[in-house]
Amino acid sequence: MKRSSSLFILLLVSYALVAQQVTLSEKDYALKYKKAVQLYADQQYFEAQSELIPLTNRKYNNTMVPYSHYYYALCSFKINKFFDSRVVLRQLFERYPDWNKIDEAYYLYANAALSDNYVDEAMQYINRISSNTLKKDSENMQYFHLSKITDRTQLKQLHQKFPNNHVIAQILVDNIQKSKNVSKEDLEISDRLTNQFNLGETIGTSKKNSTKKDTKGVVNVAVLLPFRLLDFDPSKSNRANQYIYDMYEGMKLAKEKLETEQINVNLFTFDIDRDATLISELVNNNQFINLDLLIGPLYPEANKIANAFAKENGVIQVHPLSNNQQLVANEKTTFLASPSYEMQAKKAIEYMNGQVITRSVAIYFGNTRKDSTFAYAYRDKALVSGFDVITIKKFTNAEDIDVRRKPGHIFISGSDATFGPKVINALDKKKIVVPMIAAASAFDFESSSINIFNRPLSLIQLDYINRDKEEVKNFRSIYFNAQNITPSYYGYWGHDMLLFYARMINNGKNRIRTSLNAIEYTQGYTLDGFDYTNGSNENQIVPIIKFQDGKFVEVMR
């Protein structure tokens, strides 16, 4: 830690000397600050820090300075430089104690302190938070970090230090209750804390499953997908449901990886198609009650039965591919692994907010119901964000392009890979050149001309794979050795999905909501990971890509 501290102080001195030579006007300061924030949004944390550190110099005292401190600390936190993060935040507290975002800074400081196991220091800053929302979030953060402590003596010491902290009390009670050999004294502590803090059942429990055996380290998973085994022909590699087999192969590799983490996954596969007969029989089987996780099914009738079973028995259910937000409306333990159209639209609007000056949009969509659903979801989010929707129209030919007003940007929703180029060619004919954002499904990445992408066009691509990522390279090698073919996107997706949910359930199914709220989980996965913070039951990570320097790169997620 001393070495890290010395390096950080040296950086501060170096940048301070440079900053003394050049004093920026407020306008230039704002431009540099905006550039730094964009670098942060693009996950270029080191580059963002290089821009931000001169902006924290004491000679500056405009309204953006505390934000510069905060974003520098955020960058440090993202690259696991927790000490550096705390140093800059202490400067922020000293210079701007009345900053209107001070609670967010206290929260970040506590998170950094807990990440470095400085519990006492973290608690000091948690106690300073006045926002009720952040107080609640801080409880989730505490649970995420402190639940990793398994030494009961250490937990007791923490409880003695912080006797009014109900998170620590809950973790201590959980530790006692899960142990097979418990002293009378510990049982008395458990009873006292349970009564004192009213520590009852949390989500995922029910009378029916409360008698289940404690199976820490074992996760039982039912895969309810349309394998269509009666039609299976091993000689064919272009089956319509090949993606199901690819996804399952990825799950099997995740199962092997989880075993190295002392998490044993029992994968039970069931060929569940549109017919609900089989799922009806399964849910009445006593052995089915011991499940922890359902993946699927894909079709509505089967899902009605599976969902009712999951809710009654405290089983987590995941929809692996659906973008239908209604599937998780008012649900506690049912999740979308992929973001809904509404979430994709929200994230796309957030991205376009920083790309355009004129706050207006024209929306064009294709023939399918999915196309129009996505288009109208984008319209709704655009209106909420203060954009003027000039037109929203089904596109068939160039005459559908509205030329009465030039929009600030254009949104294209299509599931036919020829649709995007058709719209762009029509825009070219009408001489309309503005930033565009589109569903990636509207383009054929293999046969389309590069000229189509060589323009101000951003793409929402949920199946984006960063081929340069180390996890992707490793998984591709393992998958190829097992299957003699390279994995499709669904192989990566099945792998990451099982890895993520099995870990969540193993950490405590009754506390899964708390774990999900604590942080976004983006490290260690082949794809972009999972974000269910702020009580969301759908993954909030939406990859947005652009064609730059001869290749597609992710610019936001």
40 SS3 class: helix
Helices within 42-101 (DSSP H only)? 45-52, 65-78, 82-95
- 326 vs 307: CA distance, rounded Å: 13
95 by Cβ neighbours in 10 Å (0-12 / 13-18 / 19+) ranks as middle
Q: With beta carbons less than 8 A apart as the criterion, state whether 197 and 169 touch.
A: yes
CB-based contacts of 60: which residues, under 8 Å, 6+ apart? 24, 29
Q: List phi, psi (to 5°) of 446.
A: -85, -40
Q: Within the chain, which residue ranges are assigned CATH 3.40.50.2300?
A: 218-336, 342-460
Residue length of the chain: 557
Local structure of residue 463 (DSSP, 8 states) = T
Q: Is-contact 401 430, C-beta < 8 A?
A: yes
Nearest to 460 by CA among 318, 328, 324, 339: 339
Residue in the block written with tokens 């649900």: 331
Q: Distance (Å, rounded) from C-alpha 124 to C-alpha 110?
A: 8
pLDDT per position as a tens digit, 435-467: 999 999 999 988 777 888 988 999 999 999 999
Give residue 328's pLDDT: 95
The tally of CA atoms less than 13 A away on the side-chain side of residue 72 is: 29
CATH 3.40.50.300 fits 2-99, yes or no: no
pLDDT at 22: 67
Q: Does domain 342-460 have CATH number 3.40.50.300?
A: no
Which token pair is 526? 């082949």
Three-state helix/strand/coil letters over 342-393 = HHHHHHHHHHHHCCCCCCEEEEEECCCHHHHHHHHHHHHHHHHCCCEEEEEE
Q: Which two tokens stand for residue 384?
A: 């909420």
Question: Residue 175 and residue 367: Cα distance in Å, rounded?
Answer: 56
Report pLDDT digits (tens) over 96-134.
999 999 999 999 999 999 999 999 999 999 999 998 878
φ, ψ of residue 234 to 5 degrees: the values are -60, -20
Which candidate, 392, 548, 535, places its Cα nearest to that of 456?
Answer: 548
Q: What's the rounded Cα separation, in Å, for the pair 84 and 75?
A: 10
| 436-439/544-548 β-pairing | unpaired
Nearest 10 degrees: CA dihedral of 525, 530, 533, 536?
-160
**Measured on CA atoms in the order 184, 188, 193, 198, is the torsion positive or negative?**
positive
Residues 6+ apart with CB under 8 A from 315: 209, 291, 292, 293, 294, 309, 333
The C-alpha atoms of residue 154 and residue 143 are separated, in whole angstroms, by: 15
Q: Which CATH superfamily is domain 218-336 in?
A: Response regulator (3.40.50.2300)
Q: What is the dihedral of CA 534, 540, 541, 544, to 10 degrees?
A: -120
Q: Under a CB-based contact definition with an 8 Å cutoff, are residues 121 and 160 in contact?
A: no
Distance separating alpha carbons of residues 113 and 89, to the nearest angstrom: 11
Give the pTM. 0.65
Amino acid at 31: L
CATH 1.25.40.10 spans which residues of the chain? 2-99
Write down the pLDDT at residue 206. 38
The pair of structure tokens assigned to 359 is 């706050």
pLDDT of residue 490: 96
Helix, strand counts (H, E) of the chain: 21, 12
pLDDT, position 522: 92
Residue numbers in the chain where pLDDT is lower than 70: 1-22, 200-216, 230-238, 286-287
